[in-house]
Structure 1
Amino acid sequence: MSKLQKLIQELCPDGVEYKTLGEIATIKNGRDYKHLGKGNVPVYGSGGIMTYVDTYVYNKPTVLIPRKGSLGNLFYVDTPFWNVDTIFYTEVDTQQIDVKYLYYLLAKEHLENLNKAGGVPSLTQSILNKIILPIPPLEVQNEIVRILDLFTNLAAELQAELQARKEQYEYYRSQLLTFEKDAEGVKWKSLPDICENLDRKRKAVTASNRTFGPYPYYGASGIVDYVNSYIFEGNYLLISEDGANLLARSTPIAFSISGKSWVNNHAHVLEFQNMFTQKYIEHYINMIDISQYVSGGAQPKLNQENLNKIPIPVPSPSEQRRIVAILNNFETLVNDLSQGLPAEISAVQEQYEYYRNKLLSFPRIKIGA
């Protein structure tokens, strides 16, 4: 029998009392910070830390609950902070409930589902105060927090390792794909010299005219939908033609596809003679700054004419293979959701959510028990 099971058996074998959030905590509004000086105290909004100031509004452990915006984005804070009006803080009655336990409870509640208003997602104190929560003895709460912290700490360690690997990948990618203009064995070419552009075969289909099927329908950043027919069959490199991501680069702008597919007019379609050159170009395009080739203001665009102006360093086939082999290994480690660190993180997150839901579910004690 685990320590938690023993505690439950000893302290609350017949169930636990349930209380509203309003009975165990006081929800407080945030305030503007612009009159404050610069310092090292974080200012929280619904998206996280916004800036730092020289004083705090509260200096005890608390749970920050978004009032507007990302309603599921809760924060457990145990250092002094300031908060603005898009996020509440809570004064918790620690005689009844552990603050970290409350954080895990509220995360389980999926507060984003409580938003009933249209427009910008929002929560009110009256809605939050009515949330009903299980309140076992503090010893039980503390043991649950200890267990769930193990999962969150492991996830944080894996995320830190993943970030380090991404930085390592970007470093080696830059080292491997940066060439001097007169580098021996390297020829500078444009894409028409290396591959065939198949943009003429693309076809956009509005959502209302699509029939669902087994074939992926690609746009500028990946799969948009699945349809019942295809216009491409084989291996291709897609490069975003338009969209904010051309400049933001939050996701790759070049990505390989294979098999039967449909591609709309928001992604260029390039066909290569071999896969190692295709992957080499994919890595290179995703590394370089293409802003000088992007036109448009509100809607950035990389048209075919400008795409073809990008100079590409092309080493020997054997060197391309070597570079691709190294970078593919890094890419799998940091990006592949089916293996490597992303798969580990996903597995830990699933375990955490399973045990969080299991550990925070209690039978309700009967009145008079």
Structure 2
Amino acid sequence: MNRIEKLIQELCPNGVPFEKINALVEKVDTVDWQTTESARYIDLATVDPRTSSLGDTDVITEKTAPSRARQAVAVGDVLFGSTRPLQGRRFFVDEVAALPFIASTGYTVLRVNSPKLDPRFLFHWLGTSSFVQHVEACQQGTSYPAISDKNVKRALIPVPPIEVQREIVKILDLFTELEAELEAELEDRRKQYEYYRDQLLTFPEEGGATWVELGEIAAIDRGNGMPRTMLTQTGVGAIHYGQIYTYYGPVARETISFVTAGDAKKLTVVEPGELIITNTSENLEDVCSTVAWLGKEPIVIGGHSSVIRSSMDPRFLAYWFRSTNFFPQKHKLATGAKVVDISANKLKKVVLPVPPIEVQREIADVLDKFDAFVNDLSSGLPAEIEARRKQYEYYRDKLLTFKELQPEAA
């Protein structure tokens, strides 16, 4: 930090010029399928907006390419997601790949052609609050907001001396590298957790557990109603089925949504110690997602989910339904393509292991610790990653904020 301050004092004590991005970048060509046999396609879903990292890319040819696959991308390019731009989706192309990249037209591709601007400086600056304000002012549309390439390039970016830019990039890159290392460690720990979960929940057909149909040991009541418009900020705790596979883990003690006392009377009640399971989803993976309700008060659920009432430890059940041990039965029981459903009656046919209650609790206790370490934002690796991300965002905005050089001081 001191070195940057010294450089600023030495090279630009009165401020730095601000220039429109379009004065510092060049036009990007569309893909030429006459010279390109195949390419890797960067779609909007390919880039993680939290980490700015690239996920799996599809290999496409002229015949299989989506209509939006048009922009030929080169090493050193900066991609900004101009569709739903406030998600902050950005990516720096630093990989020399065996196949060329092609980007969706949902991105603005920025190719720096000026020695005054470091592409990595531009990449980091696109995440700053000042650029976000520019996006907010220029984006159009409500259900499908977007900002045009022209308006992205109209943004004014500070252009300090290149030596200052490179020192700033060094510091910010260290933050992103550390976060990437933590993310990689978290991914490894999650795989480890899933492996041990599945091992702990695997029982031989003879010994260790009694195998029974769920309907023999539990009552299953399917909910009804409760559209999202019914949810409020206060009142009786409520869990919407969609929240189970997008927000909640295996255990919940508080709800993020509520309904009025009047609406609660129309809905299915879940008592503390009972299990909630989704009956419906858009894909097989999310159907039968589970959460054990361990709060102090009863809550309610609506349609597309059921409550399972039994004498088993609800945490054990939640983990077992989330394990690969259940997947073959889920695949067999599920119906539908666009909307996948497993009815409450079909759930009664699920065959599951019932070990002694002490064993259930012991397994659940072990998995609770594992789950907290890899998923709990208040502890473990997720908390450390979140802290590093906030630290990066703080220093990014601090380091990339400059006083504008006035004409008389130039």
Contact 2:226 2:303 in 1 (8 A): no
Give RMSD over aligned pairs: 2.8
Distance 1:224 1:33, change over 3 A: farther
Partner of 1:239: 277
Equivalent position SS for 2:280: coil
Q: Aligned equivalents of 1:294 and 1:112: distance in 2?
A: 43
- Listed as ranges, the gaps of 5+ residues in structure 1 are none
Which residue number in structure 2 is paired with residue 51 of structure 1?
Answer: 58
Task: Give me the whole-angstrom Cα distance separating, in 2, the residues matched to 1:122 and 1:162.
Answer: 33
The answer as to whether partners of 1:115 and 1:122 remain within 8 angstroms in 2 is: yes
Deviation at 1:89, TM superposition (A): 2.7
Q: Work out whether 1:197 is the aligned partner of 2:220.
A: yes
Query: How far is the alpha carbon of 1:69 from its aligned partner?
Result: 5.8
1:82–1:170 distance in 2 versus 1, CA, 3 Å: same
Q: CA deviation at 1:58?
A: 5.3
Change over 3 Å in CA distance of 1:322–1:209 after alignment to 2: closer
1:140 aligns with 164
Partner of 1:344: 384
Q: What amino acid maps onto 1:195 in structure 2? A: A
Conserved 8 A contact 1:32-1:85: no
Q: Are 1:25 and 2:57 matched, yes or no?
A: no
Residue among 102, 105, 108 paired with 1:83: 102
Quick one: distance in 1 between partners of 2:359 and 2:41? 50
**Matching residue within 76, 80, 88 for 1:65:** 80
2:305: which partner in 1? 267
Match of 1:96 in 2: 116
Deviation at 1:168, TM superposition (A): 0.4
Asked if structure 2 preserves the Cα contact closer than 8 Å seen for 1:31 and 1:85, the reply is no
Hey, what's the Cα distance between the residues in 2 that align with 1:34 and 1:215? 62
Q: Which residue of 2 aligns with 1:282?
A: 318
Q: Distance in 1 between matches of 2:321 and 2:35?
A: 45
Mean Cα deviation higher: 138-147 or 227-236:
227-236
Structure 1 residues 239-267: Cα deviation after superposition (integer angstroms, max 9, x where no partner): 0011124x133x98011122332211221
Taking only the aligned residue pairs, the percentage that are identical comes to 29
1:316 deviation in Å?
2.0
8 Å Cα contact 1:31/1:84 also seen in 2: no
Which residue of the other structure, out of 162, 165, 172, is the alignment partner of 2:196?
A: 172
**Structure 1 residues 129-179: Cα deviation after superposition (integer angstroms, max 9, x where no partner):** 211111111111111111111111111111101110110011111211122
SS in 2 for 1:239: strand
Judge conservation of contact 2:225–2:302 (CA < 8 Å) in 1. Answer: yes
Q: C-alpha displacement at 1:120, in angstroms?
A: 4.1
Amino acid corresponding to residue 218 of structure 1 in structure 2: I
Query: Post-superposition shift, 1:212?
Result: 4.0
Paired residue type of 1:219? H
CA distance in 2, matches of 1:32, 1:340: 48
For residue 372 of structure 2, the aligned residue among 311, 322, 332 is 332
Give the distance between the partners of 1:259 and 1:133, measured in 2 at CA.
52
- For 2:292 and 2:32, locate their aligned partners in 1 and report how far apart those are by CA, in whole Å: 47
What TM-score comes out, normalization by structure 2 length?
Answer: 0.79
Number of corresponding residues: 359
**Partner residue in 2 for 1:130:** 154
Question: Structure 2 vs 1, CA of residues 156 and 33 (structure 1 numbering), >3 Å: closer, same or farther?
Answer: farther
Residue in structure 2 matching 1:225, options 257, 260, 282: 257
SS in 1 for 2:208: coil
In 1, Cα distance between equivalents of 2:279 and 2:372: 25
| SS at 1:181 equivalent | coil
Cross-structure match for 1:360: 400
Query: What CA distance in whole angstroms lies between the structure 1 residues aligned with 2:187 and 2:162?
Result: 36
Shift in CA distance, 210/141, structure 1 to aligned 2, threshold 3 Å: closer
| Farther off after superposition, 259-268 or 203-212 | 203-212
How far, CA to CA, are the matches of 2:35 and 2:350 in structure 1?
A: 48
Q: Equivalent residue for 1:216?
A: 237
- Does residue 1:302 correspond to 2:356, yes or no? no
Structure 1-normalised TM-score? 0.87
How far 1:364 moved relative to its partner? 1.0
